[in-house]
Amino acid sequence: MRALFRKEKMWQRHKLKPRYDVVVIGAGVHGLSIAYYLAKNHNITNVAVLDKVYLGGGNSGRNTAIIRANYMTVEGVHFYSESLKLYEELSKELNFNLLFSQIGHLSLAHTDSAVNGLWRRAEVNKALGVNSRVIWPDEIKRLVPALDTSDRPRYPVKAALYHAPGGVIRHDAVVWGYARGVERHGGEVHPRTEVITIDVKDHQVTGVRTDKGEVIRADCVVNATSGWCTTVSKMVGVDLPVVTHPLQACVTEPLKPFLDKVVVSANLHVYVYQTDRGELVMGSEIDPYSSYSQGSTLETLESIVAHALELFPGLRHVRVLRQWGGLCDMTPDYSPILGEVDGLKGFVLDVGWGTYGFKAGPVSGKRIAELIATKRTPDVIRPFRLSRFREDRLVSEKGAAAVSH
């Protein structure tokens, strides 16, 4: 039996080499997908992905794995829909079942202004070819019979944005699949290897040093450390417009299948879906203060549960099994920070993923790899450059990303 399931190791233990072409700091979905596409698409295989804990020990192993493309800005919709398309092919690409279930995604509105926001998103989405439309309580009720669409709640459901291709994926599998892909193409993953210094000479990155005293040469170093990205950027004196906030989620005991849509309510600060195993996954907004502590709080649990019961009063007797938190790198406009930094060669940013970055792993990995290989910034990531804050060209996705990660 054992032989049937464990034929191979997904990644090996390596000794660090003295030199790599590219060192990626952070082995979440972003760091790993960069290394994967560097090898796969550009034949750059002398690459190491370093992580201070285990693979996926950051947010890539803690998120609620919702994938969608129905954002608000033109830049955002282009970017996230490229990622959704890559995710649709990713199980085949990695030859690893990622259990991607495109069950459909509903963003509820309970106020007139929220309904207006949905209209705007639907129109931007449709114009750019994303399947997305506003639907009304009768259709919502048909799609989600357990949802309370009556006028009993304090804020009755008025409308929803229905995004049929949205869904959920097995996040751990995505991390493992990319890690295995990196190693199969000749790259290396190094868990439990913390970067503590980045060396710079004449405005050019030259390498990194680890907590075990290793000195590694590399002319290209990528910061893919989400909630910790400020601490890594500080090593080279690059300021970031990032504040680290915890984000929490929880999961209940398994129930019989009754819910096959992702249901999000920005007005009620809550989202709910049911996994293939029957558990309900529920989440919320970021904690109301910055912190590097991943612990969870009773206040957030109470808020999630109370609001989930407004939507699904039938869940009153269901028990919560687990609650956890991750550290989110929040930016002022709820968009990421991607690409090179003015005045410092060889330092590449893939950060600012806040509460919404899991769905973007494939596109940013592919495009950052292209940037490193060709030294040209691909159009689809150009709007997300760090200098947009100086140029006053923010890409505001707050309306589409604050609760529905």
Partner 1 sequence: MGFLLECPNCGKRDVYEFRFGGEAHKRPRVNSSSEEWMKYVYMRENVAGVQQEWWFHRLGCHKWFLAIRDTRDNSVSI
Ligand X SMILES: Cc1cc2nc3c(=O)[nH]c(=O)nc-3n(C[C@H](O)[C@H](O)[C@H](O)COP(=O)(O)OP(=O)(O)OC[C@H]3O[C@@H](n4cnc5c(N)ncnc54)[C@H](O)[C@@H]3O)c2cc1C
**For residues 57 and 181, which CB has a smaller minimum distance to ligand X in the complex?**
57
Amino acid making up residue 261: K
- Asked whether 70 and 107 are in contact (CB, 8 A), the reply is yes
Examine residue 59 and tell whether it contacts ligand X (CB under 6 A): yes
Amino acid making up residue 46: N
Q: Which of 358, 365, 372, 400 binds ligand X (CB under 6 A)?
A: 358
Examine residue 207 and tell whether it contacts ligand X (CB under 6 A): no
The DSSP element (H or E) to which 197 belongs, if any, is strand 195-201
Q: How far is the CB of 284 from ligand X (least distance, A)?
A: 9
**For residues 29 and 90, which CB has a smaller minimum distance to ligand X in the complex?**
29
Binding-site size for ligand X (CB under 6 A) equals 40
Binding site partner of 297, from partner 1, ligand X, none, Cβ cut-off 5-8 A by kind: partner 1
Per-residue binder mask for ligand X (CB under 6 A), 63-92, x = binder: xxxx--------------------------
Q: How far is the CB of 364 from ligand X (least distance, A)?
A: 8
Examine residue 370 and tell whether it contacts ligand X (CB under 6 A): no
Q: How far is the CB of 121 from ligand X (least distance, A)?
A: 17
Residue whose C-beta lies closest to ligand X: 28
Structure tokens at 38: 């560097």
CB atoms within 10 A of CB 318: 17
- Asked whether 393 and 333 are in contact (CB, 8 A), the reply is no
Closest by alpha carbon to 242, among 231, 230, 224? 230
Beta bridge partners of 34: none
**For residues 151 and 342, which CB has a smaller minimum distance to partner 1 in the complex?**
342
Footprint on this chain of partner 1 (rule: CB under 8 A):
228, 230-231, 239-244, 288-293, 295-299, 332, 389-390
Give alpha helix (H) positions in 19-133.
Answer: 29-42, 74-94, 112-127
Strands annotated E in 5-104: 22-25, 47-50, 66-67
Q: What whole-number distance in Å separates Cα of residue 383 and Cα of residue 75?
A: 7
Q: Which residues bind ligand X (CB under 6 A)?
A: 25-31, 50-53, 57-60, 62-66, 194-195, 224-226, 228, 232, 247-249, 283, 326, 328, 353, 355-359, 405
